[in-house]
A and B are shown apart, each in its own frame.
Chain A
Amino acid sequence: MSIRMKRFKDWLLNPVLVKELQRRIQSRKTPIILFAYLIVLGVFVFSFFSTFDTQSDHFDADNSIGLFLFLSALQLMTAAFVLPGLTSSMISGEREKQTLYILLTTNLDSKQIVIGKWMASLSFMLMLFICSLPFYVMVYGFGGITTWHLILVVFHLFSTMLFYSSLGIFFSAWIKRTGVATTISYLAVFFHGIGIAVVGYFAFVVGSFFTQNLMHGNQIPLVFELLMAIHPVTSLLDIFHFMGDFDTKIGGYIPFYLFYILFYFITSFALLIAASYMMMPHRFQWRRREEKK
């Protein structure tokens, strides 16, 4: 390993990450969350199975894909519930505990602190994911899903997780009160899941006012397409070309799936940069006044 690599490794695997991981592992909440998560997942998956036709001994490929998508959506929802709560207290919590100043006078730079916290939250999510792998294997075993699908879906899920955790960290660095930061993070994630769909729906309705044969022409406004591309579910459906009909018909300016991955990678990166900027010293100038109140 070159010196540069070693430096990078030391930079990345910093004490903040180690401490956060230890805290996660020691926390009594961790096994509870894990247990609840697996139970919910299990209940859903097995109730799905029970709706299958048990007489005929072959599974419909469509059923299998449906279950697979369902599982993925469940994972997305888990990420939406867990990550904002996990990340939105990470920087503001340090600020409220009055430990952030000390941390910033050490050799760590603010980017390291942000990355450390971010990776800690992601690795928790990753652990949840790994624990759910048996379910994936089960669904995979029924056929109908190619390995390629699996990779694409996992990648999609990861980029969403990256985004949610960066979002939480960003609000945590930006907003001083943890309570507010948490609320706003959940609102943002809620908007990401539901809000975009609603806005998209209205864009669609308004759009169809102006163009008669929406589904048959190439007239779909680009905005609508963009909204679909950045929505977690529509972009996921694109993997199985459920939207295929739709996006070829409307011209398909944008490959939903690819756009989604790229968009959230870049956004996450930008949010993390912004977060480390937000916690830098000159931003503190309001802090002390608050403290004195």
Chain B
Amino acid sequence: MIKIEGLRKEYKNGSLVALDNLHLQIEQGTVFGFIGPNGAGKSTTMLILATLLTPTSGHAEIGGFHVVKQGDQVRRLIGYMPDFFGVYDNLTAYEYLEFYASCYGVDKEIQQRVITDLLELVNLIDKRQQPVDGLSRGMKQRLGLARSLVHDPAVLILDEPASGLDPRARIEFREVLKELRSMGKTIMISSHILPELADLCDTIGVMEHGKLIASGPVDQLIQKPKEERLLELRLLADQQIEEVKELLQADPNVQSVEEDQEQLLIQMVGNEQQQADILMNLITKEIKVVHFAEVSVNIEDVFLQVTEQREEANVNEHSNETI
């Protein structure tokens, strides 16, 4: 549905490269999470897709339409929600949506139904006669989402839609997005916060310094580093730590063993089978294990790990290839 090839965007006459040879593909009906630190170029990418910014070079298309040359068709196809947006102070929530529905050329006859449905979807139906500038940040954000949906677009481009929301509003927002996903919309959503996206997205792209440094299905991205495992091992107090250490180090799958306060930290390579083998080995040697567990790697660690590796690689060899 969305295809980006070799996209490049320079600011300030080329002295600042915001996007550098970006490749990206988003399939129809999937939710794509766009993650990256500040200044990575997420908003820039989204602005280009929303036809609000022309790229320096490269190609981007949505639903087969070129974002620069066929802007009209692209705009009809997408609902865009900017990272910051304002509302007109003299309109009520209903009038606000009505105005944009007219701007999108939605038929007058169906407007009322569409708007009511949308207000229900984002849970603002009881606020429909309230002036929009009196709404709270979270409500405005939801109203903004409703606004981006008035013309029933197939693609949603949401730039940090959950920023500035309290945890509760975040969860509510996510529920709305899940509902949209079930309606079959293609959604591109950006965030700094990974856990927020993890259970919502089908695929995730990690961006840094204008490049996509990792992308793929969420579970794959989280799985990958799991071939490397970190295990915690705690023994009954009277056990011979040194002996156990030697025993562990003899295992070919174990890379290193370190003492960490009362426990041992085992760095190993392998799958669950090999992990189980280690424990079995210990037990057959009659070593009394109190605690043996994998230290869970969460998605944020993955993110940090991926971006750190990238940083090191950059420093070491100025490599340009994307991972």
Interface residues of A (CB under 8 A from B): 14-16, 18-19, 23, 26, 97-99, 101-109, 281-282, 284-285, 288-289, 291
Residues from chain B with Cβ under 8 Å of A285 in the complex: 11, 53
Asked whether, in the complex, the Cβ of A15 is within 8 Å of the Cβ of B103, the reply is yes
Asked whether, in the complex, the Cβ of A26 is within 8 Å of the Cβ of B103, the reply is no
The reply to whether the CB of B239 lies closer than 8 angstroms to some CB of chain A is no
Taken together as a complex, chains A and B put the C-alpha atoms of A109 and B71 apart, in Å, by 10
User: In the complex, which of the residues B86, B90, B103 contacts A106, with contact meaning CB atoms closer than 8 Å?
Assistant: B103
- Nearest chain A CB to B47 CB, angstrom units: 8
Which of B20-52 touch A at CB < 8 Å? 43, 50-52
Residues from chain A with Cβ under 8 Å of B53 in the complex: 281-282, 284-285
- Nearest chain B CB to A97 CB, angstrom units: 4
Asked whether, in the complex, the Cβ of B103 is within 8 Å of the Cβ of A98, the reply is no
Residues from chain A with Cβ under 8 Å of B104 in the complex: 106-107
The reply to whether the CB of B80 lies closer than 8 angstroms to some CB of chain A is yes
Asked whether, in the complex, the Cβ of A102 is within 8 Å of the Cβ of B82, the reply is yes
Smallest CB-CB separation from A19: which chain B residue? B99
The reply to whether the CB of B75 lies closer than 8 angstroms to some CB of chain A is yes
Asked whether, in the complex, the Cβ of A99 is within 8 Å of the Cβ of B86, the reply is yes
Residues from chain A with Cβ under 8 Å of B51 in the complex: 104-105, 281
Residues from chain A with Cβ under 8 Å of B86 in the complex: 97-99
Asked whether, in the complex, the Cβ of A99 is within 8 Å of the Cβ of B87, the reply is yes
Residues from chain B with Cβ under 8 Å of A289 in the complex: 11
Asked whether, in the complex, the Cβ of B52 is within 8 Å of the Cβ of A284, the reply is yes
* 10 other A-B residue contacts (CB within 8 Å) besides A23-B90, A106-B103, A284-B52: A14-B102, A14-B103, A97-B87, A98-B82, A99-B85, A101-B50, A104-B52, A106-B100, A109-B72, A285-B53
Asked whether, in the complex, the Cβ of B80 is within 8 Å of the Cβ of A99, the reply is no
22 contacts between A and B (CB under 8 A): A14-B102, A15-B103, A16-B103, A26-B90, A98-B82, A99-B85, A101-B52, A101-B80, A101-B82, A102-B82, A102-B85, A102-B100, A102-B147, A105-B50, A106-B100, A107-B72, A107-B75, A107-B105, A107-B151, A281-B53, A285-B11, A288-B43
Taken together as a complex, chains A and B put the C-alpha atoms of A98 and B99 apart, in Å, by 16
Taken together as a complex, chains A and B put the C-alpha atoms of A16 and B43 apart, in Å, by 27
Asked whether, in the complex, the Cβ of B99 is within 8 Å of the Cβ of A15, the reply is yes
Asked whether, in the complex, the Cβ of B88 is within 8 Å of the Cβ of A97, the reply is yes
- Nearest chain A CB to B101 CB, angstrom units: 9
- Nearest chain A CB to B158 CB, angstrom units: 13
- Nearest chain B CB to A3 CB, angstrom units: 15
Asked whether, in the complex, the Cβ of A281 is within 8 Å of the Cβ of B11, the reply is no
Smallest CB-CB separation from B157: which chain A residue? A105
Asked whether, in the complex, the Cβ of A98 is within 8 Å of the Cβ of B50, the reply is no
Taken together as a complex, chains A and B put the C-alpha atoms of A104 and B88 apart, in Å, by 15
- Nearest chain A CB to B134 CB, angstrom units: 15
Residues from chain B with Cβ under 8 Å of A26 in the complex: 90
Taken together as a complex, chains A and B put the C-alpha atoms of A288 and B42 apart, in Å, by 13
Taken together as a complex, chains A and B put the C-alpha atoms of A107 and B72 apart, in Å, by 7
Residues from chain B with Cβ under 8 Å of A99 in the complex: 85-88
Taken together as a complex, chains A and B put the C-alpha atoms of A19 and B102 apart, in Å, by 10
Residues from chain B with Cβ under 8 Å of A18 in the complex: 102
Residues from chain B with Cβ under 8 Å of A102 in the complex: 80, 82, 85, 100, 147
